[in-house]
């Protein structure tokens, strides 16, 4: 993976995380906070927030 691809991937995860934080009415973390995280940490954070979103809003 090139450096540009890694930055793009990190940016996508950060955007997804911040969107879920907004939907869940959570305090937003700054982009600078996420810049120290690995792609794996960003992905894991997204999965946790997505699970919370599913639990809260996708009940049938």
* CA terminus-to-terminus distance, the chain: 40
Model pTM score:
0.87
CB 35 within 8 A of CB 11: no
DSSP string, 32-57: HHHTTS-HHHHHHHHHHHHHHHHHHH
Closest-CA residue to 27 (of 38, 35, 42, 17):
17
Residue scoring higher pLDDT (3 or 25): 25
Instruction: Please state the domain extents for the chain.
Output: 3-57
CB 42 within 8 A of CB 14: yes
Mean pLDDT computed over every residue of the chain: 93
Kindly report, residue by residue over 19-38, the tens digit of the pLDDT.
Answer: 999 999 999 999 899 989 99
pLDDT, mean of residues 43-59:
93
User: What per-residue confidence (pLDDT) applies to 6?
Assistant: 87
Indicate whether 49 pLDDT > 70: yes
């Amino acid at each position: 993976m090139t450096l540009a691809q890694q930055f793009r991937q990190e940016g996508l995860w950060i955007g997804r995380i911040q969107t879920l934080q907004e939907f869940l009415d959570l305090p937003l973390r700054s982009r600078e906070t996420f810049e120290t995280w690995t792609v794996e940490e960003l992905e894991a954070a997204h999965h946790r927030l997505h699970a919370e979103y599913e639990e809260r809003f996708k009940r049938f």
